[in-house]
C-alpha cells in the first residue's frame, strides 16, 4: 500500500519534471533504520526470543550464507550460457546475491504483524531478519573486496579475515550494546527526581550505542588485510556508509536491557508516565520511518535509471524462492531433532514463503560503486523487482496461505503482543467481558508458571542437560537478582516483580470494575485512589 | 554392550554398578526413554553418586551447586524421594521421576508423562503435608521462596489470599488438585513441563 503511494507520488513528480534525489544511504542508515530497529528490539518478547535463540541463529547465519552462495553460484552458472546478454563474473554475482539473500526486518514486520501467525513462527522469521544482517554485510564487504582485487589475487588469508570480521562485527556490536544498556540502566537509577528527562535517555543512549558501534566497526575492520585494500582505493565516505548497515543490530542488545531494566525487572526505576511516553514515541517514530522508506522506494522505482534484464530478474526471483525453501527445509530437519516444539511442514512453508526482501537490500544495492561493478543499474533494478515481488506477491498471498493451510494462528489465549506490551489488554479484555482472557492474568496462573519454570530448571540441572533453556534462565535470574539489580535499581527487594506488577494491576481492574458496577465503595473527597483500592481489596477478602 | 563398556571406562566405575542390557530394556519399557538417553542419564546418575553404592541420597542432590540456588531446589529434591521407601533412591526410581518430563507424544500413550502426572508434580511443590490440598500457609511458603526474603508479609499475604480466592471453587479456602488443574486449563502444560532429553 505504501509502495503504491510512493509510485503514485513518483509519477506525479516525474510528470512535473522535478528531480527527486533517491533515498541516500546516509539518510537511510542514520535516520530511518534506527527507529525501526529500536522499536523492534524494545518490544521484542524476550522470553520467546531466548527460548528460540539457537534456532534463530542457525537460520540467520547458516541459512543466509547458504542462500547467498547458492543464489550467486546459480546465477553465475546461468550467466555462463550467455542468456543475460553479457558476461558476468562469479564474484559479481556473489556480491549481488549477498544483497538479496537476507530477509528484511522492515518488510517482515510490516507483513507479519498483520497476519497473526503463532508466536513461535513469528519470532523465528523476525529474529532471523534482525540477526542476519551481520552475515549479509560481511559477505557484502568480502565480495566487494574480491571484485576489486580480481580473483587471481585472493589469498587464503582473505578468506580467514572474512570469517574473523564476522565475529568482530557481531560480537563486538553485541558487547557495545550491552555496555550501553547497562550504562543507561545505571543512569536511569538516578533520574527519578527529574521525570521529564526520564523518557529521553533510552532514545539518546540507544542512538549513541548505534553511532559508537559505527565508529568501532570502522576502526575494528580497518585492521584487516582485505578491508584495508578496499579502503585505500574506495572513496572513504561511501565506505563509511556501508558499514552502517550492520550496526542496527547493535542497537538490539541495548534496547533489550533498556526495556528489561525499565519495566520488566525493575519498574521502580522509571515512572509509569515516562514508560508510556517511551512506548508511544518509539512506536510513532518507527511507523513514520517505515512509511517514509516505502514511499521513497516507490518514488525511486519511477525515477531512477533502470536497466531491465528480463532473464536476470526472473532467475533472481526464482533462485531466491527455491533456495530459501531448500535452506528452511534442511535446517528445520536438523533443528527438529533438538527442539521441543517441532516445526512442521506447514510452518516451514510459511517460513520460506515469508522470507521477504525489503528496504535494506535496496539501500545496499544503491551504494554499490559503479566504477567497480559496471552492472550496478541492472542490480538495482533487479533488487527492486525482487522487493516488489516478495512484498506484493508473497506478502499479500501469505494471508491466503495461512488460512488455507490452517497454520496455527495466534490463539485466543495469547493476547496480541501489542496489547500486552501496552498493558491495556487486561482492561480491554475485561471491558469486552472476555472472562477467559481476563482469567489468564490471574495471579494463580502466573505463580504456577513461575513454579514450573523453577521445576524445569531444577530438573535440567539434575539431568545435566547441556545448555537447557530453563537452566540458563534460572542461572541468569540468580545472577541478575544477586548482582545486577542491586547495582542498577533503586529498590531491589523483590525477586519476582512480575507477580507484584500483575497483582497491583488486578487490584486496579477490580476497583474500576467495582466502580462501574456502582458498588457501595464510596469515593470521599480527598481520598486517594490507592486507599480506595486498599479498602476495596480488604472488603473483598473479608467476604 | 559396547556403549556400556565404554561408559564404564569413562566413568571409572566398579563393575557392580554396570548397567545391564536387560535393565536398559526394562527401563525403556517402563519410562519410554531411548537406550542412549538411559545410558546418558545413567552416567549422570553415577556421577552424582559419590558413595558409589548405586543409590542417591538427598545430600547427593544438594551437592549440585545450581540446584542449591534454585528457590525450589529443596522441594524438587524432596519430590524425587516421594517414590522411595527410605532416604535413598535407585536408578529406576530416578528415571521414573525424570520420565514425567518427557515430551508428550500423541501416538504413544505413557502413563508417566501424561498431563496429569506433570501437574501432579507441580502440585507436590506446594503440597508439603500430602493432604491433597494447598492451604494458605503452604502457598505463602512457596511465594516466600520465590520472591525473596525482604518483602513485607502483608503484601505476600495479600497475594496469597487473592490467589486462593481466584482458584477456590468450593469455598473451603484451600486449593484442591482439581481446582489446581482447572486454573491451568488453558496453559500448555504439556509443552511447558517437558524437556527434550539429550541422547
Residues 6+ apart with CB under 8 A from A197: A191
- Which residues in chain B have Cβ-Cβ distances shorter than 8 Å to A464? 44, 47
A454 in reach of chain B (CB within 8 A):
yes
Rg over CA atoms, chain B: 19
Contact flag A496-B73 (C-beta cutoff 8 Å):
no
H or E stretch covering A194? none
pLDDT by residue (tens digit) across A52-88? 878 888 888 888 888 888 888 888 888 877 766 666 7
Distance (Å) from the C-alpha of residue A444 to the closest C-alpha of chain B?
5
* pLDDT at residue A20 is higher than 60: no
Supply the pLDDT for residue A192.
66
**The dihedral formed by the CA atoms of A378, A382, A385 and A389, expressed in degrees to the nearest 10:** 170
Predicted confidence band at A261 (pLDDT cuts at 50, 70, 90)?
very low
Nearest Cα to A53, choosing from A120, A140, A149, A138?
A120
Contact A447/B162, CB-based, under 8 Å? no
Closest partner residue to B184 among A445, A474, A541, by Cβ?
A445
- Secondary structure (DSSP) of A256-297: HHHHIIIIIS-GGGS-HHHHHHHHHHHHHHHHHHHHHHHHHH
What pLDDT shows up at residue B43? Answer: 82
Q: Do A496 and B147 touch (CB under 8 A)?
A: yes
Rg, chain A, Cα only: 26
Partner residue opposite B67 with nearest CB, options A340, A458, A540? A458
Q: Flag if A460 and B195 touch (Cβ within 8 Å).
A: yes
CA distance A270 to A190: 10
Task: Collect all residues of chain B within an 8 Å Cβ-Cβ radius of residue A341.
Answer: 191
For residue A439, the chain B residues in CB contact (below 8 A) are 186
A336 contact B CB<8A: no
CB within 8 Å: A496 and B146: yes
User: Would you state the pLDDT for residue B80?
Assistant: 79
CA atoms within 13 A on the CB side of A244: 22
Closest by Cβ to A444, choosing from B158, B183, B196 = B183
Q: Which residues of A322-356 are buried (b: 16+ CB within 10 A; e: fewer)?
A: ebbbebbeebbeebeeebebebeebbbbbbbbbbb
Q: A175-185 burial, b for 16+ CB within 10 Å, e for fewer?
A: ebbbebbbbbb
pLDDT on residue A16: 60
Kindly state the percentage of chain A with pLDDT values over 70: 47
Q: Mean per-residue pLDDT for A500-529?
A: 59
Interface test with B, best of A436, A439, A441, A448 (most B CBs within 10 A): A448
Mean pLDDT of A271-299: 75
Residues of B in contact with A442 (CB under 8 A): 163, 166-167, 183
Grid coordinates representing A314?
A: 526472473
**CA–CA separation, B162 vs A533, rounded Å?**
14
Q: Which three cell numbers stand for residue A27?
A: 539518510
Task: Determine the residue of chain A that is closest to B120 in CA distance.
Answer: A452
Pick from A447, A450, A455: CB nearest B121? A455
Interchain CB distance below 8 Å, B122 and A455: yes
Kindly state the cell numbers that stand for B32.
519410554
* Residue A89 to residue A78: CA distance in whole angstroms: 11
Q: Which residues contact A317 (CB under 8 A, 6 or more apart)?
A: A385, A386, A389
Asked if A466 has any chain B CB less than 8 Å from its own CB, the reply is: yes
Q: What is the C-alpha separation between B183 and B167, in angstroms, rounded? A: 6
- Write out chain A residues lying below 8 Å of B156, CB-based: none
pLDDT tens, A408-458?
655 444 443 333 433 444 444 444 444 434 444 555 666 777 777 777 777
**Burial of residue B110, with CB atoms counted within 10 A of its CB: 0-12 exposed, 13-18 middle, 19 or more buried:** middle
Q: Give the CA distances from residue B29 to residues A178, A213, B23, in Å, rounded to whole numbers and listed in that order.
A: 49, 56, 10
Q: Which residues touch A127 (CB under 8 Å, ≥6 apart)? A: A49, A52, A53, A56, A60
Q: Which of the residues B11, B44, B46, B76 would you substitute to probe the A interface, choosing the one with the greatest number of A C-beta atoms within 10 Å?
A: B76
pLDDT per residue as tens, chain B (199 positions): 444 444 444 444 443 456 777 778 887 777 778 888 888 888 888 888 777 777 788 888 888 877 777 778 888 888 777 766 677 888 888 888 888 888 777 666 666 777 788 888 888 888 877 788 888 888 888 887 777 666 677 777 877 777 777 777 777 878 888 887 877 776 677 777 777 777 6
**Buried b or exposed e, range A94-110, using 16+ CB within 10 angstroms:** bbbbbbbbbbbbbbbbb
Q: A463 — contact with chain B (CB < 8 Å)?
A: yes
Please answer whether residues A247 and A195 qualify as being in contact, where contact means their C-beta atoms are separated by less than 8 angstroms.
no
Asked if pLDDT for residue A522 goes beyond 70, the answer is no
Q: What value, to the nearest 5°, has the Cα angle with vertex A70 and ends A102 and A346?
A: 65
Q: Say if residue A473's pLDDT is above 80.
A: no
> What is the reported pLDDT for A234?
27
Residue A510: the pLDDT is 66
Residue among A209, A266, A218 nearest A241 (CA): A218
Q: Is there a contact between A298 and A7 (Cβ–Cβ < 8 Å)?
A: yes
Q: Give the mean pLDDT of A177-192.
A: 70
Name the closest residue on chain B to residue A470, using Cα atoms: B195
Q: How far apart are the first and last CA of chain B?
A: 16
Q: Given A452, A474, A540, which is nearest B70 (Cβ)?
A: A474
pLDDT band of residue A203 (cuts 50, 70, 90) is confident
Which residues from A are below 8 Å from B148, CB to CB?
A: 481, 493-496
Q: What angle do CA A510, A515, A517 make, to 5 degrees?
A: 95
What span, in angstroms and rounded, lies between the C-alpha atoms of B83 and B94? Answer: 9
Q: What is the pLDDT of residue A218?
A: 43
CA distance B69 to chain A (A): 7
- Convert the pLDDT of each residue in A446-464 to its tens digit: 677 777 777 777 777 777 7
Question: Which residues does chain A have within 8 Å of residue B197's beta carbon, measured at their own beta carbons?
Answer: 463, 465
Secondary structure (3-state) at B90:
strand
- Distance from the Cα of residue A63 to its chain's centroid: 17
- Between A68 and A205, the higher pLDDT residue: A68
3-state secondary structure of B55: strand
Q: Find residue B56's DSSP bridge partners.
A: B89
Cβ contacts of B73 on chain A, cutoff 8 Å: 458
DSSP A34: H
Length of chain B: 199
Q: Look at phi and psi of residue A433 and say left if phi exceeds 0, alpha if psi is from -120 to 50, else beta.
A: left
Mean pLDDT of chain A: 67
**Band (A224; pLDDT cuts 50, 70, 90):** very low
DSSP summary character for residue A117: B
Report the gap between the CA of A177 and the closest CA in chain B (Å).
28
B102 φ, ψ to 5°?
-70, 145
CB B73 within 8 A of CB B67: yes
List the 390-429 stretch of A: residues with Cβ below 8 A of B: 413
Q: What angle do CA A114, A392, A357 make, to 5 degrees?
A: 85
Q: Give the C-alpha separation, A305 to A297, whole Å.
A: 13
First to last CA, chain A: 56
Nearest to B22 by CA among B35, B9, B13, B31: B35
C-alpha B70/C-alpha B88 separation (Å) is 22
In this predicted model, which residue has the larger pLDDT, B100 or A112? B100
* A339 at interface of B, judged by CB pairs closer than 8 A: yes
The C-alpha atoms of residue A98 and residue A137 are separated, in whole angstroms, by 8
Nearest CA in chain A to B38: A463
Amino acid at each position: 500500500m505504501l509502495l503504491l503511494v510512493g509510485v503514485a507520488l513518483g509519477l506525479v513528480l516525474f510528470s512535473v519534471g522535478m528531480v527527486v534525489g533517491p533515498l541516500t544511504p546516509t539518510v537511510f542508515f542514520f535516520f530511518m533504520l534506527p527507529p525501526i530497529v529500536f522499536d523492534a528490539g524494545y518490544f521484542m518478547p524476550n522470553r520467546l526470543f531466548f527460548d528460540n535463540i539457537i534456532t534463530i541463529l542457525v537460520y540467520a547465519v547458516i541459512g543466509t550464507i547458504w542462500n547467498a552462495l547458492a543464489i550467486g553460484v546459480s546465477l553465475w552458472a546461468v550467466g555462463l550460457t550467455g542468456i543475460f546478454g553479457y558476461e558476468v563474473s562469479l564474484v559479481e554475482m556473489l556480491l549481488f546475491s549477498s544483497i538479496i539473500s537476507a530477509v528484511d526486518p522492515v518488510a517482515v514486520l510490516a507483513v507479519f504483524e498483520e497476519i497473526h501467525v503463532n508466536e513461535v513462527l513469528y519470532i523465528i522469521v523476525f529474529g532471523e531478519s534482525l540477526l542476519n544482517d551481520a552475515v549479509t554485510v560481511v559477505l557484502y564487504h568480502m565480495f566487494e573486496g574480491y571484485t576489486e582485487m580480481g580473483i587471481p589475487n585472493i589469498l587464503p588469508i582473505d578468506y580467514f579475515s572474512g570469517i574473523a570480521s564476522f565475529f568482530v562485527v557481531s560480537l563486538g556490536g553485541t558487547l557495545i550494546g550491552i555496555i550501553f544498556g547497562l550504562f543507561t540502566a545505571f543512569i536511569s537509577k538516578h533520574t527519578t527526581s527529574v521525570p521529564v528527562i526520564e523518557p529521553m535517555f533510552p532514545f539518546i543512549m540507544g542512538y549513541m550505542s548505534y553511532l559508537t558501534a559505527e565508529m568501532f566497526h570502522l576502526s575494528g575492520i580497518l585492521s584487516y588485510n582485505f578491508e584495508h585494500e578496499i579502503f585505500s582505493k574506495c572513496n572513504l565516505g561511501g565506505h563509511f556508509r556501508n558499514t552502517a548497515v550492520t550496526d542496527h543490530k547493535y542497537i538490539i542488545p541495548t534496547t533489550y536491557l533498556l526495556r528489561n531494566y525499565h519495566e520488566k525487572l525493575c519498574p521502580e526505576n522509571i515512572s509509569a508516565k515516562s514508560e508510556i511516553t517511551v512506548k508511544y514515541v518509539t512506536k510513532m517514530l518507527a511507523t513514520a520511518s517505515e512509511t517514509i522508506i516505502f514511499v521513497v522506494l516507490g518514488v525511486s522505482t519511477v525515477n531512477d535509471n533502470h536497466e531491465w534484464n528480463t532473464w536476470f530478474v526472473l532467475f533472481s526471483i526464482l533462485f531466491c524462492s527455491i533456495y530459501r525453501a531448500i535452506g528452511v527445509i534442511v535446517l528445520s530437519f536438523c533443528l527438529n531433532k533438538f527442539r521441543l516444539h517441532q516445526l512442521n511442514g506447514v510452518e516451514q512453508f510459511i517460513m520460506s514463503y515469508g522470507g521477504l526482501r525489503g528496504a535494506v537490500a535496496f539501500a545496499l544495492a544503491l551504494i554499490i560503486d559503479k566504477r567497480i561493478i559496471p552492472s550496478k543499474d541492472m542490480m538495482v533494478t533487479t533488487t527492486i523487482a525482487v522487493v516488489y515481488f516478495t512484498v506484493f506477491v508473497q506478502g499479500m498471498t501469505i494471508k491466503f496461505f495461512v488460512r488455507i493451510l490452517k497454520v496455527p494462528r495466534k490463539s485466543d489465549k495469547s493476547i496480541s503482543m501489542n496489547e500486552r506490551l501496552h498493558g491495556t489488554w487486561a482492561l480491554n479484555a475485561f471491558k469486552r467481558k472476555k472472562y477467559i482472557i481476563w482469567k489468564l492474568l490471574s495471579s494463580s496462573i502466573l505463580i504456577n508458571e513461575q513454579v514450573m519454570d523453577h521445576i524445569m530448571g531444577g530438573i535440567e540441572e539434575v539431568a545435566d542437560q547441556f545448555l537447557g533453556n530453563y537452566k540458563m534462565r534460572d542461572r541468569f535470574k540468580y545472577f541478575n537478582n544477586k548482582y545486577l539489580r542491586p547495582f542498577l535499581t533503586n529498590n531491589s527487594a523483590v525477586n519476582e516483580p512480575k507477580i507484584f506488577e500483575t497483582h497491583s494491576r488486578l487490584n486496579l481492574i477490580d476497583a474500576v470494575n467495582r466502580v462501574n458496577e456502582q458498588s457501595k465503595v464510596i469515593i470521599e473527597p480527598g481520598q486517594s485512589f490507592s486507599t480506595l483500592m486498599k479498602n476495596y481489596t480488604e472488603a473483598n477478602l473479608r467476604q | 554392550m559396547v556403549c556400556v563398556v565404554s561408559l564404564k571406562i569413562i566413568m571409572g566405575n566398579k563393575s557392580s554398578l554396570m548397567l545391564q542390557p536387560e535393565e536398559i530394556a526394562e527401563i525403556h519399557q517402563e519410562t519410554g526413554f531411548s537406550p542412549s538417553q538411559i545410558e546418558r542419564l545413567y552416567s549422570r546418575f553415577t556421577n552424582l553418586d559419590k558413595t558409589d553404592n548405586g543409590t542417591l541420597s538427598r545430600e547427593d542432590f544438594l551437592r549440585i551447586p545450581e540446584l542449591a540456588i534454585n528457590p525450589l531446589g529443596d522441594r524438587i529434591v524432596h519430590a524425587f524421594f516421594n517414590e522411595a521407601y527410605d532416604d535413598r533412591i535407585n536408578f529406576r526410581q530416578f528415571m521414573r521421576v525424570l520420565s514425567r518430563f518427557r515430551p508428550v507424544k500423541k501416538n504413544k500413550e505413557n502413563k508417566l508423562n501424561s498431563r496429569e502426572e506433570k501437574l501432579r508434580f507441580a502440585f507436590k511443590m506446594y503440597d508439603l503435608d500430602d493432604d491433597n490440598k494447598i492451604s494458605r500457609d503452604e502457598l505463602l511458603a512457596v511465594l516466600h521462596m520465590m520472591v525473596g526474603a525482604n518483602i513485607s508479609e502483608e503484601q505476600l499475604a495479600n497475594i496469597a489470599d487473592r490467589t486462593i480466592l481466584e482458584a477456590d471453587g468450593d469455598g473451603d479456602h484451600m486449593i484442591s488438585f482439581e481446582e489446581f488443574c482447572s486454573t491451568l486449563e488453558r496453559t500448555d502444560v504439556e509443552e511447558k513441563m517437558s524437556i527434550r532429553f539429550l541422547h
